[in-house]
Amino acid sequence: MSKTIKFSLCSVLIILCSSFLVLKNKTLIFDYPEYWPKPHYDFSKLSMSENEFQLGRQLFYDPILSKDQSISCASCHLQATGFTHVDHDLSHGIEGRIGRRNSMALMNLAWNTSFMWDGGVNHIELQALAPISSKNEMDSSLKEVVDKLNTSRKYKSLFYNSYQDSLVTGQKTLLALTQFIVMLNSYNSKYDKFIRNEDIDIFTQQEKNGLIIFKKNCASCHTEPLFTNNEFHNNGLKLDPYIKDYGRMQITNNPEDSLKFKVPTLRNIQFTPPYMHDGRFETLKAVITHYSSGISHSTTLSERLKNNLDLTHKEKVDLLVFLRTLTDTDFLFNNRFSYPYIN
């Protein structure tokens, strides 16, 4: 083989390899419909790179984040159910320890102005600290997690690929987790296709009626397009005498916040039972019955719910049928968000 051929083969290989690396660490685009509001989150600390996303994905699915290597974020946040758990009301942590609240569905988090049912966490980059250090969840600490990750060859190399430095730190760990969870966006439900006029006939008459009932009774809090207004409200649930969860008041110490909880998104709601902060309702039917005729009156009850909605049977069914149009199977079965099989 002549020198020139060898040389050009070599350069082709180098170009191929480097473009593969560039490809592997391609820049991520944070995509969302142009008619949505701008995200609340400031993306400046994230690298928005594929490698950081994949590192975050590994961490999200890895029980190494818990004290005894038994619980991962995904144990309580399962993709097929909108990244929440559905088999029990209150979340289960290590050694079967039971928490005080129902796990939350994770989606469109960049628009959240606060996190948790009571808004106790105000920044997405700090969110992971809560479950990692909570006694009833992962019962570990960021330091313990970082020490473990620093002994793992796999993670040293994943951190190197993301940050050009194999040293694992707490900040990088939190940012990588953020890079993964902030990409969990859902905007391709039947409802979205209807709103975008992608298919004029996609909504049945019943679904259209349901949307009208929804706009009238629910959208002031579950505001489109994110199906939350990010506020805290008392939606008429009786205090559970055993759990005694006063919600937002526990954070602000203000009695006016008693029994107020964050308005959750309703996207993919069909797949995220049980419902409410303590998972007290098993079905959407039970939720609608609550709003229609089961509101418990107390001083902090939202003005908007002071009068019973008294929906007719037909209105309840139409509303239920509408809520099901918020299911986004592109999101629930998106391979990019699933368990990472590479090692």
Given the structure tokens 């628009």, which residue do they identify?
A: 111
Burial label for 286, CB within 10 Å (0-12, 13-18, 19+), is middle
Could you give the angle at which helices 153-163 and 170-181 cross, rounded to 10 degrees?
70
Per-residue contact flags (x/-) with ligand HEC for residues 33 to 52, judged by CB under 6 A: --------------------
Half-sphere exposure of 8 (CA within 13 A, CB side): 4
Q: Vertex 217, ends 214 and 218: CA angle to 5°?
A: 65
Check: CB of residue 228 under 8 Å from CB of residue 264.
Answer: yes
- Shortest separation between residue 14's beta carbon and ligand HEC, angstroms: 39
211 belongs to the binding site for ligand HEC (CB under 6 A): no
Print the binding letters for residues 47-76 with ligand HEC: x by CB under 6 A, - otherwise: ------------------x-----x-x-xx
CA distances from 273 to 88, 266, 286, 327, 337 (A): 9, 11, 11, 13, 20
List binders of ligand HEC among 124-143 (CB under 6 A): 127-128, 131-132, 137-138
- Pick from 46, 104, 175, 251 the residue near ligand HEC by CB under 6 A: 104
Q: What is the dihedral of CA 310, 313, 318, 321, to 10 degrees?
A: 110
Here's the x/- map for ligand HEC, 285-324, by CB under 6 A: it reads as: --xx--x----------x-xx---x---------x-----
Q: Which of 263, 295, 326, 332 binds ligand HEC (CB under 6 A)?
A: 263
Say whether residue 269 binds ligand HEC (CB under 6 A): yes
Residue 74's nearest CA partner among 87, 89, 59, 52 is 59
Show the beta-strand stretches assigned E in the chain. 232-233, 261-262
Q: Shortest approach of ligand HEC to residue 83 CB, angstroms? A: 8
Tokens representing residue 47 in the block: 């690298």
Peptide bond into 274 cis (omega under 30): yes
Q: What b-and-e string marks burial along 156-194, b requiring 16 or more CB atoms within 10 Å of the CB? A: bebbebbbeeeebebebbbbbbbbbbbbbbbbbbbbbbb
Report the C-alpha gap between 274 and 282 in whole angstroms.
5
Q: Which is nearer to ligand HEC, 67 or 233 (CB)?
A: 233
Question: Contacting ligand HEC (CB under 6 A), which of 55, 78, 86, 106?
Answer: 106
Q: CB of 250: closest distance to ligand HEC in angstroms?
A: 9
By CB under 6 A, which span of 47-55, 96-104, 189-197, 335-343 interacts with ligand HEC?
Answer: 96-104
Instruction: List Cβ neighbours of 238 (8 Å cut-off, separation of 6 or more).
Output: 296
* Contacting residue, 81, 91, 189, 325, with ligand HEC by CB under 6 A: 91
Instruction: Tell me: does residue 78 bind ligand HEC (CB under 6 A).
Output: no
Q: Which of 67, 101, 172, 190 binds ligand HEC (CB under 6 A)?
A: 101
Nearer to ligand HEC, 4 or 219 (CB): 219
Residues 216-255 that bind ligand HEC (CB under 6 A): 217-218, 220-222, 233, 235, 237
Residues that bind ligand HEC (CB under 6 A): 65, 71, 73, 75-77, 91-93, 99, 101, 103-106, 109, 112, 115-118, 127-128, 131-132, 137-138, 177, 181, 217-218, 220-222, 233, 235, 237, 261, 263-264, 266, 269, 272, 275-277, 287-288, 291, 302, 304-305, 309, 319
